[in-house]
Amino acid sequence: MTTEELRTLTVAKSVDARGTACPGPLLEAKKAIGTLHSNDVMEILSADEGTKVDIPKWCGKQGHEYLGAVEENGYFKVYMKKK
C-alpha cells in the first residue's frame, strides 16, 4: 500500500507502544490482536525501528496481513490486518 493509502485506512485499534523497546511493541500487538475481529486493521505506534521488521515477520507466521509502515515525527505507524 502507498503511504497515502495507509494514512486513510479505517483503524479498529491503535496500540501506542512508543514508550517501549523491542520486544515491547510486538508484545503489545500480540495482546491487542485478541480484541479484534477478522479483517480489522490495527495500527501500532512505535519509536523502535525493529518494529518495522518484527511485525511483518509475526504477521507472516500468524497468517495476518502486514499492510505497511509510515514514518512520522520520529516514530513509526505500522499497519496490519487480522486474518
What residues are labeled active site? 22
Cβ atoms of 59 and 25 within 8 Å: the answer is no
72 by Cβ neighbours in 10 Å (0-12 / 13-18 / 19+) ranks as: exposed
Beta carbons within 10 angstroms of residue 15's beta carbon: 20
